[in-house]
Amino acid sequence: MTRLGYCFTGSFCTFERSFEALRGLVNAGYDVQPIMSENAYYTDTRFAVAEEFSHRVEELTGRKIIHTVKDAEPLGPKNPLDLLVIAPCTGNTLAKLARGITDTSATMAAKAHLRRDRPLLIALSSNDAMSQNLSGISMLLTRKSVYFLPMSQDDPTGKPYSLVADFTLMREGVLAALSGEQLRPLFI
């Protein structure tokens, strides 16, 4: 059975979309290990109550959420995944991934996973994707084993620098990344 890691980071407004994408993966028969960044795991917002949301994720996947650096570290050689998905991926996590900063459960999971050149699929959701984080996108697009879920400008007038992944393409994105391919078109 294909083993996926599925990591939420703190783009709280896309939690429900990502949860539905996760449900699609579970229903498709993937064995999913849930992961949450510390911010995603502990922060109550107008979009989600942290404890309720994490309970739903654990119920859906049948597994406890990894939410510390220490517990994410074995997701390398010791306890490998076939694919790691970060969905949603914040601008913050993207910037850290691009520059090799590892100080959260999400970035630790990615570091552990990428050291074996296993595929990482990023579903970006960030208001500064086309400003401060554009360089991070280009750095990761050219990095081995890193793929993006296709994304679009969700509100070009109101949020001119924002990009949000299309979470409904998750199953296609996962299949492509598992085959070493970038699902295209990348910008939709």
Ligand X SMILES: Cc1cc2nc3c(=O)[nH]c(=O)nc-3n(C[C@H](O)[C@H](O)[C@H](O)COP(=O)(O)O)c2cc1C
Nearest Cα residue to 62 out of 31, 29, 35, 19? 31
Residue 11 binds to ligand X (criterion: CB under 6 A): yes
Residue 65 binds to ligand X (criterion: CB under 6 A): no
Please pick, from the candidates 9, 18, 33, 61, the single residue that binds ligand X as defined by CB under 6 A: 9
Record the tokens describing residue 185, joined without a space: 């078109």
| Helices 91-99, 105-114: inter-axial angle, 10-degree rounding | 40
Please pick, from the candidates 21, 104, 146, 149, the single residue that binds ligand X as defined by CB under 6 A: 104
Could you tell me which residues come within 8 angstroms of residue 79 by beta carbon, excluding any fewer than 6 positions away?
Answer: none
Residue 54 binds to ligand X (criterion: CB under 6 A): no
Please pick, from the candidates 2, 24, 31, 45, the single residue that binds ligand X as defined by CB under 6 A: 45
DSSP 131: T
The CB-of-185 to ligand X minimum distance in angstroms stands at 22
Q: Residue 6 in contact with residue 159, Cβ under 8 Å?
A: no
Q: Which range binds ligand X by CB under 6 A, 6-14, 48-56, 73-81, 136-144?
A: 6-14
Neighbours of 60 (CB within 10 A): 17
Please pick, from the candidates 6, 7, 12, 54, the single residue that binds ligand X as defined by CB under 6 A: 12
The CB-of-75 to ligand X minimum distance in angstroms stands at 16
**In degrees rounded to 5, what are phi and psi of residue 93?**
-70, -40
CA gap 123, 44 in Å, rounded = 22
The CB-of-107 to ligand X minimum distance in angstroms stands at 8
CA gap 139, 126 in Å, rounded = 16
The CB-of-79 to ligand X minimum distance in angstroms stands at 21
**Which residue's CB is nearer to ligand X, number 54 or number 126?**
126
Neighbours of 6 (CB within 10 A): 30
Residue 92 binds to ligand X (criterion: CB under 6 A): yes
Residue 174 binds to ligand X (criterion: CB under 6 A): no
Contact residues: ligand X, CB under 6 A: 9-13, 37, 39-40, 45, 90-93, 104, 106, 125-126
